[in-house]
Structure 1
Amino acid sequence: MLERNDATQERVRGYRLSRVRDALRNHECPAILLYDPVNIRYATDTSNMQIWTARNPSRYIMVFADGPVIAWEFHNCEHVWRGIDLPVEMRQAVGWTFFSAGAHAERRARVWAQEILDVLRQHAPNERRLAVDKLDPADTTVLVGHGLTLLEGQGVMELARTVKSADELVLLNESLRVCEKGIERMRRDIEPGMTEQDLWARLHEENIRHGGEWIETRLLASGERTNPWMQECSPRVLRQGELLAFDTDMVGPNGYCSDISRTWTVGHTRPTDAQRTLYDAAFSQIHFNMGLLRPGMTFREFSEQAWKIPEQYLKNRYSCVAHGIGMVDEYPSIAHQVDWDSSGYDGEFEAGMTLCVESYIGANDGVEGVKLEQQVVLTEMGCEPLTSCGFETEWL
């Protein structure tokens, strides 16, 4: 693995922007309008209040396949572009939401749309097509009313983000090392009598103090709240010997996500036979499936050959067998074979993909459950773990 040097970030920026432009050409799109703050971060390496701007569309960029990057930045925030060695034309964003425009929202939307049209005509004069990643219905109506054909852009960006460069892996590993510090802090501090929220705060603290950014979910549960999965942390007090499970979903340094799940006992007590049985199944599932992964394998083949979930755990299965990971959860999401007809889609694994292999094991009528997840990189030889965060192998 490469180590970071002064040029690493610059190479990453160039690689990612070239991936976006290549994806546009592959989809025969002249340009893409981006509002999703993660897509903006990927294309330009700029970030401005990502959670807030995800809810309040107030900064946006347009990337041309064979042309410039145009950036509309939030009020008086051009400074967030300092240090970014990227030729870009800066403009003032037009806010057209009810929050920012009130009764003037419709008029502002027309001003916004006219500027988008003018920029497209200037840099792609013979084109009336524009890819977009996310727009509200009113904005879509205005642009279509001006004769534009809008193309689905989120898929363009997901495919662009799929394959990581060696330099991206350096940055991703920096995020993972911070996540591991947070996990170790939780492991060290967990004790009966503290609350789920007390323990979860340790991960947040370590992330922020080491330059991380935000956490997408609050998935930490104990005791009977571990079954079913997808229960966010609460004021519940931890009890000696019960299971404690979590899923980090942590956007750390450099804007890359560290997505690791582990399950322990509170007080690190010896597990019961029932707890060991659950853990053994979850451990078997992710390690069996990791052993299958290889470049050139199709998503359908992976789903068909994946570890067969015992009937008593099938109803409470995790939502996918595996999924992509980068700045956040990314393409692809691999459906279980039992879900293939309703939610599966095919594709092919490539070297350079980073993935999370998932497991949740909990009986439908059971008391507790085990959540495990391992983040890996796909190489020509198969997959390699990206984290050294250990498993409870003495439970097996």
Structure 2
Amino acid sequence: MNVEQPFSSSNRKIDPSRRRATQLFKPDGTPLDPDRLEIGPTDVAFAEWEALGITPPNVERMRKVRLDRTVAEINRRGYGGCLMFDPLNIRYASDSSNMHVWILHNWARACFVGADGHMVVWDYKRCEHLSAHLPLVNEVRVGAGMFYFVAGDQEDAIAAEFAAQIDDLMRAHGNGSRRLAIDKMELHGARALTARGLAIGSGQQVMEHARLIKSEDEIAAMRCAIATCEIAMAEMEKACEPEIAETELWAILHAENIKRGGEWIETRILSSGPRTNPWFQEAGPRRLLEGDLLAFDTDLIGPYGMCCDMSRTWFVGDGEPNAEQRDAYRVAYDHMFANMDLLKPGVTFSELTAQCVHLPEEYRAQRYGVFMHGVGLCDEFPSIYYPEDFVEGAFDYPLEPGMTLCVDVYAGKVGGSCGVKLEDQVLITGTGYENLSNYPFEERLLG
């Protein structure tokens, strides 16, 4: 097999003249050009955000800050560069996107950022044009795909050719370091890099810490994504009546997100009635009944690729909740806000675990996996565990202004007939926190 032909690098430089085809721009600074390559919010979304008084981010400035943070973290940890295959890390560093969900399990794309800021994106074959609008991407190549579906029995040969490119880039842009951070990679690729004398470290650590503090533009983008998600949730709630199927409700959330330029949803966790206990059951064909609880977790990747991870539980129909439903809801509601009130700059992740409010004993066995977690382009570092689940030495970092977190709770007794899931998204400020979530809670269940 000729390895060079179908999988070789193009070394194509981006043509800056292609980036400014028009001098008219949308509110986020992107070109007002319906034929442009970049994805983004729709006119519907911009109009809704304006009506809500939400200012979109400046996209070019957001991209620059993200690259600067990536480069700073590479240098802070003594690496010559970071090689990324995780599509969310690629998105963060470059804002380049292509077949996002497919790439999550077919690593045909990669991104290298050197210690000097030089960036190379490897895309799927004949997709180089998808990064033509990105001024921070210095080169686009192909040939990073070395998984069996695309490489077959030549995976080692392709890995060796790719490793040679990385070796050259490290020598040219790595500031003399032979330490390379990699977030995830096929084993034969990693072996080919170590055979060239490169010392491999944790790229996931580099990128999670780069992504930890959000810029003003990222926070603006998150506000936009949350607004879009909450508009979609309102459409769901309108349809949340007896006889509708769980899957039909879930389809509304997805459709309304896509309509506004949102991108995808990470899970399909929505359940009703007895399926709300235990938690983590996915939307199925069950039709809602009068008097059910309907609970869901959005896990929504909205406009700008920003995550809105919120949970709500609704009462179905016109009746009155029973005592078990009200008790679970009140426990969840009080628990979430009590733990939220622990948030302020300087408190460490491990201190949050030590100080957290516990669920009542009868609810602890089915507690949620975390009671807080980071959020950005998806659920991100850190995980804030209950004391029973704490990993010693794993999370010894302080809260800082600009971090964004989700505060979670699930309340359901073992063998109970129902369960309640609630979750809000918050921003750490200079003095405490701001709750970014605006969607109302179920008054009938709080009564």
Shared fold, TM over 0.5: yes
Check the 8 A contact 1:130/1:148 in 2, yes or no. yes
- Give the alignment's Cα RMSD to 1 decimal: 1.6
Q: Given residue 342 of structure 2, which amino acid in structure 1 is its aligned partner?
A: L
Gap change, CA 1:394 and 1:242, over 3 Å in 2: closer
Matched, 1:337 2:380: no
Which of 175, 181, 206 aligns to 1:131? It is 181
Check the 8 A contact 2:85/2:110 in 1, yes or no. yes
Check the 8 A contact 2:375/2:405 in 1, yes or no. yes
Tell me the residue number matched to 1:199: 249
Deviates more, 1:66-75 or 1:275-284: 66-75
Tell me the residue number matched to 1:111: 161
Tell me the residue number matched to 2:277: 227
Question: How far apart, CA to CA, are the structure 2 residues paired with 1:109 and 1:379?
Answer: 45
Tell me the residue number matched to 2:114: 64
Partner of 2:390: helix, strand, or coil? helix
Cα offset, 1:221, TM superposition: 0.6
Question: How far apart, CA to CA, are the structure 2 residues paired with 1:214 and 1:45?
Answer: 16
Question: How far apart, CA to CA, are the structure 1 residues paired with 2:146 and 2:289?
Answer: 50
Which of 341, 348, 355 aligns to 1:291? It is 341
Instruction: Please list the CA deviations of residues 231-287 of structure 1 after superposition, one character each: whole Å capped at 9, or x if unmatched.
Output: 111111111111110000000110000001000112254211110100000000111
Check the 8 A contact 1:335/1:344 in 2, yes or no. no
Cα offset, 1:345, TM superposition: 2.7
Which of 150, 163, 169 aligns to 2:219? It is 169
Tell me the residue number matched to 1:179: 229
Question: How far apart, CA to CA, are the structure 2 residues paired with 1:364 and 1:383?
Answer: 33
Tell me the residue number matched to 1:367: 417
Partner of 1:390: helix, strand, or coil? coil
Q: TM-score, normalised by structure 1?
A: 0.96
Question: How far apart, CA to CA, are the structure 2 residues paired with 1:192 and 1:391?
Answer: 20
Instruction: Please list the CA deviations of residues 129-177 of structure 1 after superposition, one character each: whole Å capped at 9, or x if unmatched.
Output: 1100101222111211222110111011001101111111111111111
Deviates more, 1:87-96 or 1:379-388: 87-96
Matched, 1:252 2:302: yes
Cα offset, 1:219, TM superposition: 0.3
Structure 1 unmatched runs, 5+: none
Partner of 1:395: helix, strand, or coil? helix
Partner of 2:317: helix, strand, or coil? helix
Matched, 1:95 2:149: no
Q: Given residue 58 of structure 2, which amino acid in structure 1 is its aligned partner?
A: T
Partner of 1:267: helix, strand, or coil? coil
Question: How far apart, CA to CA, are the structure 2 residues paired with 1:128 and 1:90?
Answer: 23
Which of 154, 176, 190 aligns to 1:140? It is 190
Gap change, CA 1:243 and 1:343, over 3 Å in 2: farther
Which of 396, 407, 412 aligns to 1:346? It is 396
Check the 8 A contact 2:321/2:444 in 1, yes or no. no
Matched, 1:315 2:315: no
Gap change, CA 1:148 and 1:268, over 3 Å in 2: farther
Check the 8 A contact 1:218/1:233 in 2, yes or no. yes
Tell me the residue number matched to 2:43: none
Matched, 1:158 2:235: no
Question: How far apart, CA to CA, are the structure 1 residues paired with 2:318 and 2:256?
Answer: 21
Cα offset, 1:5, TM superposition: 4.4
- Which consecutive aligned stretches of 4+ in structure 1 deviate over 3 angstroms post-superposition? 341-344
Gap change, CA 1:242 and 1:354, over 3 Å in 2: same
Q: TM-score, normalised by structure 2?
A: 0.85
Matched, 1:376 2:426: yes
Gap change, CA 1:242 and 1:394, over 3 Å in 2: closer
Check the 8 A contact 2:320/2:444 in 1, yes or no. no
Question: How far apart, CA to CA, are the structure 1 residues paired with 2:210 and 2:218?
Answer: 13
Q: Given residue 102 of structure 1, which amino acid in structure 2 is its aligned partner?
A: G
Cα offset, 1:4, TM superposition: 5.4
Check the 8 A contact 1:175/1:256 in 2, yes or no. yes
Identity of aligned residues (%): 43
Gap change, CA 1:203 and 1:331, over 3 Å in 2: same
Q: Given residue 116 of structure 1, which amino acid in structure 2 is its aligned partner?
A: I
